[in-house]
């Protein structure tokens, strides 16, 4: 099973800007029930898409400035970045198949 890789970057914007692969950012909080559900769904999406996408998780409690910069109002919020720019935004929980359908056009 492929898990999301924990990496350190000098900045979030730096990580987004220099990725050749689209990045799906999961803005979440540890206390958020739907966020926990989304975590398992994202693992499945990561397996199904087999390297076409990177998943990055941002804990909004630890990085409130990043959440604020990207206007995160609800949790979970997924933002798909391609070429360093946000191209799609999903608030709430979607099943893996729905999520793949939704972001597939950007891959």
Catalytic residues: 32, 35
Which residue, among 4, 24, 8, 12, has the nearest Cα to 86 in the 3D structure? 24
Closest CA to 26 of 7, 9, 41: 41
Q: Are 79 and 70 in contact (CB under 8 A)?
A: yes
Between helices 33-49 and 96-104, what is the axis angle to 10°? Answer: 60
- Which DSSP symbol is given to 70? T
């Amino acid at each position: 099973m492929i898990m999301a890789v924990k990496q350190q970057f000098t900045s979030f914007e730096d990580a987004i800007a220099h990725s050749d692969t689209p990045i799906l950012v999961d803005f979440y909080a540890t206390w958020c029930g739907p966020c926990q559900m989304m975590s398992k769904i994202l693992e499945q999406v990561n397996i199904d898409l087999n390297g076409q996408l990177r998943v990055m998780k941002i804990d909004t409690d630890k990085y409130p400035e990043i959440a604020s910069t990207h206007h995160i109002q609800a949790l979970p919020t997924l933002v798909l970045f391609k070429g360093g720019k946000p191209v799609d935004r999903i608030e709430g929980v979607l099943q893996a198949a729905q999520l793949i359908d939704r972001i597939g056009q950007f891959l």
